[in-house]
Amino acid sequence: MTRIAIIGGHGKIALRLASLLSGRGDEVTAVIRNPDHTADVEATGARPVVADVENLSATQIAEVIAGHDAVVWSAGAGGGNPDRTYAVDRDAAIRSMDAAQLAAVMRFVMVSYLGARTDHGVPEDSAFFPYAEAKAAADEHLRGTSLHWTILQPSKLTDDPGTGHITLAEDRGDITRDDVAQVAAEALARPDTASTTIPFVNGETSITAALDEVVARRSPDAP
């Protein structure tokens, strides 16, 4: 049994992921900000923990995740407020990485987005710019840590039923939230996906085969 903490545990992907992980016998803690979301989390088989990571220090977050084997970052400010976007998608995410190292929870899976990188090319006058900047900074920080990280880069999300198949691609497309959750679940079960970035859309390759391809491409210097 693996003990997994999902930060942002009431998100649409997070709830799907919690159900998958609980269903296969993992022990799941869902870290949520709003206590009104407790029942939704419990319905997935996860244990809800109310903790507002936006306002917690790295040390305080470490206390929340201590004793787990892995952390999944699936939180987000939801857009609309640039200051809060930076506070959650960049600053709180980075503190959670620092917390994971403090708590010796070395496996860390980041749910990012397709196109996240420091040279993202989003114009400064775009409403999307703060999110692009925040995610780029968080992902780069993660790559520089000693954590056994995996960065998931799904494209445009849909609520269509999952297919169990994806395509590794830098090009835009759609991806179901079901399939993003499945990719996260399989990545968590595969230590060999550490030190990989996985850009994907829905496609024709089974998730297992796609992850095999990611691993085969991985740098030989990766841990």
Catalytic site positions? 131
Residue 106, helix vs strand vs coil: coil
Residue 55 phi/psi, 5-degree rounding, is: -115, 15
* Residue 163: closest CA among 149, 176, 147, 148: 176
CA angle 150, 156, 160 (to 5 degrees): 105
Q: Are 203 and 165 in contact (CB under 8 A)?
A: yes
Residues 6+ apart with CB under 8 A from 81: none
Distance of CA 53 to the CA centre of its chain: 15
Tell me the two tokens of residue 17.
Answer: 């992921």
Q: Which residues pair with 150 in a beta bridge?
A: 109, 196
Using the structure block, give the residue that is written with the tokens 């060999």: 192
Question: Is the separation of the CB atoms in 92 and 53 below 8 Å?
Answer: yes
CA torsion 132-203-21-188 (nearest 10°) is -60
